[in-house]
A = this chain, B = another copy of it.
């Protein structure tokens, strides 16, 4: 249930509603809103009676929420969530581009990549310092050394940094260096980690699990938001199907469906999604045309020498060409880039 306060409700009126919710043994969640305060209620089994709240002073309405996800749903918060990352606004009218190498490999590589994607118009640098790998015998990332190189690249270019955190153990360290914390597809339902992300004061980029339904994905975001962190963006990166010609099947259907169901920003990762360099630009364009708020693209100065995912990384020149097309498509859907 959602209790919507009147535009000029007083703090005392709000507090009284919160108090009544808690006295019923339930949780109250204040929902950020430009015009007025709303208070989400969770923890109830079965429906609540709106009459409990409707007649309280300052209350405009008490609404039943039909979806299993509550705080992330548009039913509860109609206006788009805009995540402000030091001035870069994710979820607003401008389409944000995140780009950079799959893994941070060396000082030269990351700086070269950062300068190149900055020049082409990216606002956020991506790069993995901790790499989840199917095999224990593959390159697992540079760890803190990689984080330091990302921080250096940020300093040199002014780009913000998004990088993956794989576990609670390294959460504080990664949060020290990163501007956005990426949660990988295989960790989408790592509930212990999700709960801790609710307490973090950094934006989260939550990748979709390879076989997660849209509902499960929203429920995973709900874990973070219910923990107190409203700065969550959802990143479609391809689902697992029977098709073997592509690495994954980038599910662009999820983009308009999510934009209707949730107020959180939606990001598209065409690089992991299709997994073939020559087709990344087509899927990036399609993602923007479908309504994504951002794209995240792998770019490597020398893809053929990359320690991971070279076959799906663009060269700086290919990335620059993509950016030009992306700008036109953004205009076609009423956005800027």
Contacts and interface: CB of A to CB of B under 8 A. Distances in A.
Contacts of A257: 245-246, 274, 276, 279
A326 B215 CA distance: 30
Contacts of A246: 253, 257
A285 B290 contact: yes
A257 to B, nearest CB: 6
A297 interface: no
Contact of A253 (B43, B215, B219, B250): B250
Interface residues of A, number: 72
A136 interface: yes
Interface stretch (A8-16, A154-162, A236-244, A310-318): A236-244
A105 interface: no
Given A135-B68, A190-B187, A289 B279 contact: no
A215 to B, nearest CB: 7
Nearest to A258: B245
Interface string A266-303: 00000001101011001101111111000000000000
B331 A328 contact: yes
Interface string A159-185: 000000011110000000000000000
Given A222-B135, A290-B283, A213 B243 contact: yes
A277 to B, nearest CB: 11
Contacts of A168: 167-169
A85 B325 CA distance: 31
Contact of A332 (B166, B243, B279, B325): B325
A331 B289 CA distance: 13
B135 A252 contact: no
Nearest to A187: B190
5 contacts: A136-B226, A245-B257, A256-B279, A256-B282, A286-B287
Given A134-B216, A135-B219, 9 more contacts: A136-B195, A137-B226, A168-B168, A242-B242, A252-B286, A255-B286, A257-B276, A285-B290, A332-B332
